[in-house]
Amino acid sequence: MAVLKERIQELREEIRRTPYNKATQHHIGRLKARISRLKEESRAKAASKHRSDGYALRKAGDVTLVIVGFPSVGKSTLLNKLTGSASRVATYDFTTIKVIPGVMEYRGARIQILDVPGLIQGASSGKGRGKEVLSVIRSVDLIVLLIDVFNLHQLEALTTELHEAGIRLNQRPPNAKIDKRARGGLNITSTVELSQVRERTLKAVLSEYRIHNADVVIREDISLERFIDAVAGNRIYLPALVVLNKIDLVKEDYLGEVNKKLPDCIAISAEKGHNLDELKAAIYVRMEFIRVFTKKPGKKADLDEPIILVKGSTVGDACDRLHRDFRGKLRHAKIWGSSVKYRGQRVGLEHVLRDYDILAISLRR
């Protein structure tokens, strides 16, 4: 472990000393790929030695979000205000020593909210039980980054730790497909002009990951970092909201300056309950919920209690929500709504649903 960390630091220093230009792009690209691969090896070795304790979690509700922040930023207070959970609150650091779940109901959606121990700098390397906390974060649907109004630098520190742990915030996965083969060398095809990285460098990245035979298809003007993410293949892409807490302790002019620096943040006071309705609405919108109504054959649709799903959900997902056996027993489904060409159209498990669709399913006996 120590040897790997030293080697990573040496490579970072080499990158820092190397001026970036066309002549050095290939060399720097290879170094970045090597750092990424060594970090993967380091995490794998740490995971094999570490046993998780107290972080097993049963998901509940329609989606799960986690409140991420430094110690004493107000995570437990916010959880309690949003869900009524009894998460212990105190004014000293590391009050939360395990994951505390709660459920917030909003506009028909049941949103599980997790309060986890505060992240600290170095969490991605295991400091402050960071490995366990980050493993929980990787499994959720949305991240709320809770920042102290007096410590705006916390945002950069948190995003850095999450990035180091392979978590990409508010990004879509890179549009690159890598099919490994037994022989034939590296065949790289792009459907767009690549302006940020040369094919020679892409091949160097693949070589660093010991991929010497593969068909690679790239459908975006990909950057070096995003191509490395595609090759690594284990990144998590999650939506995130930035929430500024403790605004009741500052004056309006100070808050105005903060909003200029962080224009997309949601400013709240968890302690006083200020702007929590705005936060709830932002969470709902960011999750892109859809409502799907059900109907029995020959009867009217039940428009009182929809199934709450997220955008992109399929008929199969709806079946899973209704009963664990429905997916395997589905004969066919019929849809009334904007996701089909005509009313009552028959569809299969992979059909993607839209908001306000009406679903009728027929099961095999």
CA distances from 260 to 10, 145, 161, 263 (A): 38, 18, 24, 5
β partners of residue 295: 301
216 and 345, same domain (yes or no): no
Triad 9, 51, 167: Cα angle to 5°: 50
Cβ atoms of 112 and 59 closer than 8 Å: yes
Distance in angstroms (rounded) separating the CA atoms of residues 45 and 160: 21
Assess if residue 55 is contained within a domain. Answer: no
**Can you give the pLDDT at residue 174?**
96
58 lies in some domain: no
Burial grade of 304 (CB within 10 A; 0-12, 13-18, 19 or more): exposed
How many domains does the chain divide into? Answer: 3
Of 268, 286, 304, which marks where a domain is finished? Answer: 286
Instruction: Tell me which residue range forms the domain holding 303.
Output: 289-363
109-115 and 63-68: which strand pairing? Answer: parallel
**What is the pLDDT, as a whole number, of residue 290?**
93
Q: What is the pLDDT of residue 229?
A: 95
Beta-bridge mates of residue 277:
none
pLDDT tens for the chain, 365 residues long, are 567 778 888 888 888 888 877 778 888 888 888 888 887 777 666 655 555 444 556 677 889 999 999 988 999 999 999 998 665 555 555 455 588 889 999 988 999 999 988 876 665 666 656 677 888 898 899 999 999 999 999 999 999 999 988 999 999 999 999 999 999 999 999 999 999 999 999 999 999 999 999 999 999 999 999 999 999 998 999 999 999 999 999 999 999 999 899 999 999 999 999 999 999 999 999 999 999 999 987 788 888 889 999 999 999 999 998 888 999 999 989 999 999 999 999 999 999 999 999 999 998 88
Q: Are residues 111 and 251 in the same domain?
A: yes
Q: Of 306, 304, 310, whose CA–CA distance to 293 is shortest? A: 306
- Count Cβ atoms below 10 Å from residue 206 Cβ, excluding itself: 22
- Tell me: do 182 and 293 sit in the same domain: no
141 and 101 in a common domain: yes
Instruction: State whether 322 and 200 are in the same domain.
Output: no
Q: What is the pLDDT of residue 47?
A: 59
Q: What's the rounded Cα separation, in Å, for the pair 365 and 361?
A: 13
What does the block give as tokens for 223? 């950057």
Per the CB < 8 A criterion, the answer to whether 241 and 142 are in contact is yes
Same domain, 156 and 144: yes
pTM: 0.83
140 lies in the same domain as 80: yes
pLDDT of residue 177: 95
Residue with tokens 């690679």: 216
